[in-house]
Amino acid sequence: MRIGIVGGGAVGLLYAFQLSKIFTVTLYVKRDEALQALKSQGITILYNEHKQETRKVEVMKWESNVPLRDDLIIVATKQYGLSAILPVLKLCTKDQSILFLQNGMSHIDMLEQISNPQILLGIVEHGVKKHNDCTVMWTGKGRTKLAGYPVTKNDRHASFFMNKWMDSIGMDFPLEVCSDYYGMMIEKLLVNSIINPLTAIFDVRNGELLSNPYYQNCMKQLYNEMNFLVPVEKRKQMWEHICSICEKTAKNTSSMRRDLNEGRETEVDAILGYLMNLAEKQGKSVPLTEFIYKAVKGLQNDASC
């Protein structure tokens, strides 16, 4: 089975490394410098200061007008990069499948434009930090969750892909298959909507949101404003889940904090922006969410100047 991975960021490199153990993987990157580095050096995963592993993976230059021939395509770009690659994804056939691994949920509105292939949605719970074009630090082992959109069809590529993954590398690189894509995505959206922007604004690691009582109070207030998305009987459980993610990733730097510190565009529109749209549709007032959204946008503007 041929797997194509679009995007040479931290997530793209981690998944190319892991999935190349059992599939024929091609990694598509845009920059010539990244292409040459990966061809000559392969992908290196740093587990800690003393342990690392390197694998060679097929790598190709991304071409915006060339159809992809892989059986299953994993889209590992940032949310705001999807519009640029959409024309190629629309060329995929019914014999192909596409898996999206983005933060936020704004890409769901785009999926109706892709009519032929089987669509899978995924969320990434791993901690991973990119050091350079061919090296990433795996800072925290989590899970990948996948669900079909709108539901999982009887697709031989998707089924073979998920079964092979779980049977071959599932112990070291866990996979969970979910039946409800919306519930899966909402859970991740709430985690990202609280941890990412608050760590970015306060410029702290994830765990400090819990260890500092004032930051934790901000977390709680923000969650209370957002929990209209969660059934009443599950709200306590969801809050505990968000706190557990903070604990498990205590030493990690969120992607939004890292993007701000390194002067890059954040995914705040796909995360808080999407949540604000949901609130508007349901007639909910979310002033604290709007304030934090504007704060991140302001910091992003300063960082890019």
Q: Which residues are catalytic?
A: 188
**Amino acid at the residue 81:** G
Task: Tell me the two tokens of residue 139.
Answer: 């800072």
DSSP annotation string for the chain = -EEEEE--SHHHHHHHHHHTTTSEEEEEES-HHHHHHHHHH-EEEE-SSS-EEEE--EEEE--TTS----SEEEE-S-GGGHHHHHHHHTT--TT-EEEE--SSSGGGGGGGG--SSEEEEEEE--EEEEEETTEEEEEE---EEEEEESS----HHHHHHHHHHHHHHTTTS-EEE-S-HHHHHHHHHHHHHHHHHHHHHHT--TTHHHHSHHHHHHHHHHHHHHGGGS-GGGHHHHHHHHHHHHHHTTTPPPHHHHHHHTT---SHIIIIIHHHHHHHHTT---HHHHHHHHHHHHHHHHHH-
Residues 165, 118, 25, 102: is their CA dihedral positive or negative?
A: negative
Task: Tell me the two tokens of residue 70.
Answer: 């892989």
**Amino acid at the residue 135:** T
